[in-house]
Chain A
Amino acid sequence: MIRVAAVGDIHLGEDMRGHLRPALEKVGEHADILLLAGDLTRHGTVVEAEVVADEFADLPVPVVAVLGNHDHQDDKPLEVTKTLQDKGIHVLEGTTFTHRVNGCSIGIAGVKGFGGGFAGKCGSAFGEREMKAFIQHTCDIAETLEQALSELDTDIKVALTHYAPVPDTLRGEPPEIYPFLGSYLLGEAIDSTGTHLAVHGHAHFGTEQGLTPGGVRVRNVAQPIIRSAYTVYVLEGSS
């Protein structure tokens, strides 16, 4: 059994320093690992990343994160990543993190993800350069997610993204903006790799619970949805 804490869309800045810390210092009582589903900052600046790094530093459980669109706003994703890594946060982008608790192993594969829409209502890599670049960005990310999930050989496999892999967890958002909130390509990667749980953020007006077409549970952990510093899921491996 492994207890997975998760939260996304915390949007920290200097005005929020220490805001989550009281609940975070007790995370070890609730969970064995903490996942951050992107949009950790407001504007993606290094100064904001330092606030995030301090907030999640020296916790009793491993902290594993992906970046979100807000974390790209200042065009410094590599610097933001390094700032978080310097304080011990494991930042994933097409990469994995594994951890063992009480004889049970858990593997996290993480990517930011991107938009494009869902089956039957999605964009194609066709036409203008900008449209092709938009969809190709999603295709590339989905491919790296599939590869990272495939490489995991753990009792439990979790996909961590910022953008949504299914439309289920977007209910409450206007359907017209679904193509900016996620992509079925992420769900396809999750379904083809024996994944146990998919965790994402990004959709503040969505709902927490969903399911991929292949039957994998999906959870939207955007903080306005879970309404706490983090939420906790209890998992067990299928082996």
Chain B
Amino acid sequence: MSSEQYLAANLRRAVAEDPRTAELGVRVTVRGDHVMLSGDVACAERRAALEEVLHETAPELTIYNDVRVTPAGEPEGEEDLR
């Protein structure tokens, strides 16, 4: 089982350090022959780039990409701190 932990650590470093992704805010969880990605990225292209980098690093794994794209609209309301 410890090999899953090493694999998850290596994949997490890959998505953080590969310039195509540079994502430190994405979680990588390995379970058997599946890898799940979770967290938020800024746009759909970056969400897809995560799969590209992961697939190159570990082509044998099936990817569940649960990463969400962060909304960038106007805020709804405000917080009153007075």
Q: How far is the CB of A181 from chain B (nearest CB, A)?
A: 10
Contact partners of A226 in chain B: CB under 8 A: 75
Q: Say yes or no for A10: interface residue by CB 8 A criterion.
A: yes
Given A234-B81, A236-B82, does the pair A229, B42 have CB atoms closer than 8 Å?
Answer: no
> Please, which residue of chain B has its CB at the minimum distance from the CB of A208?
B79
Given A15-B45, A224-B39, is A26 in contact with B82 using a C-beta cutoff of 8 Å? no
Interface size on A, residues (CB 8 A): 38
Identify which of residues 1-22 in chain B touch chain A, using a CB-to-CB cut-off of 8 Å. Answer: 19, 22
Assess whether B56 is interfacial by the CB under 8 Å rule.
no
Contact B81 A229 (CB under 8 A): no
In angstroms, Cα B76 to Cα A22, docked, is: 15
Query: Which chain A residue has the least Cβ–Cβ distance from B68?
Result: A224
A65-85 interface (Cβ within 8 A of B): 70, 73
Alpha-carbon gap, A232 to B80, bound state (A): 9
> Roughly how many angstroms separate A105 CA and B54 CA in the complex, as a whole number?
50
Please determine whether B73 and A229 come into contact, CB atoms closer than 8 angstroms. Answer: yes
A-B contact count (CB 8 A): 81
Interface centre among A22, A222, A224 (most CB of B within 10 A): A224
Q: How far is the CA of A229 from the CA of B19 in the complex (A)?
A: 24
Report yes or no: A16 in contact with B82, Cβ–Cβ below 8 A.
no
Contact A10 B42 (CB under 8 A): yes
Using Cβ atoms and an 8 Å threshold, which residues of chain A touch B75? 5, 30, 226, 228-232
Query: What chain B residues lie within 8 Å of A224 (beta carbons)?
Result: 25, 39-40, 70
Is B43 in the interface zone, CB < 8 Å from A? yes
Contact A234 B74 (CB under 8 A): no
Q: Which chain A residues border B42 with CB–CB below 8 Å?
A: 10-12, 16, 19, 223
Can you name 21 A-B residue pairings with CB atoms under 8 Å? A1-B82, A11-B22, A12-B42, A16-B42, A19-B43, A23-B72, A23-B74, A30-B74, A30-B78, A204-B39, A205-B27, A222-B25, A228-B76, A229-B72, A229-B74, A229-B75, A231-B79, A232-B77, A234-B81, A235-B82, A236-B82
